[in-house]
Copies of this chain bind each other. A is one copy, B any other.
């Protein structure tokens, strides 16, 4: 269930939950999918915003869009239109403020699991 979101101000603005509306259960749900976790790991690694187009995910465009929307609606990423590109950035400051250490421990756990499974983890 997506958390309460600020009303959209136009077709080119996407709804995001305010920091205070982000819930732990929703963040954990957002991170519990391998594809979404892979997206978050990449955004964390580059420490920058990335367009949806650079994520070469092995799923259909609509599935990809769905995963980004779940991450956005659950407070894990910001999505913003820049021209025709939809850019994505991790809400690291918000997440670290609300749940100190959580994101880092999930990222570290994902790295460990990937090594443990011989790179087949993501």
Taking beta carbons and an 8 Å cutoff, which residues of A are in contact with B?
23-26, 28-29, 31-34, 37, 98-102, 104-106, 108-110, 112-113, 116, 121
Contacts and interface: CB of A to CB of B under 8 A. Distances in A.
A116 B26 CA distance: 16
The main secondary structure of chain A at its interface with chain B is helix
Nearest to A28: B32
A89 B85 CA distance: 48
A28 B28 contact: yes
Contacts of A99: 105, 108-109, 112-113
Nearest to A97: B112
Given A28-B106, A32-B28, A101 B101 contact: yes
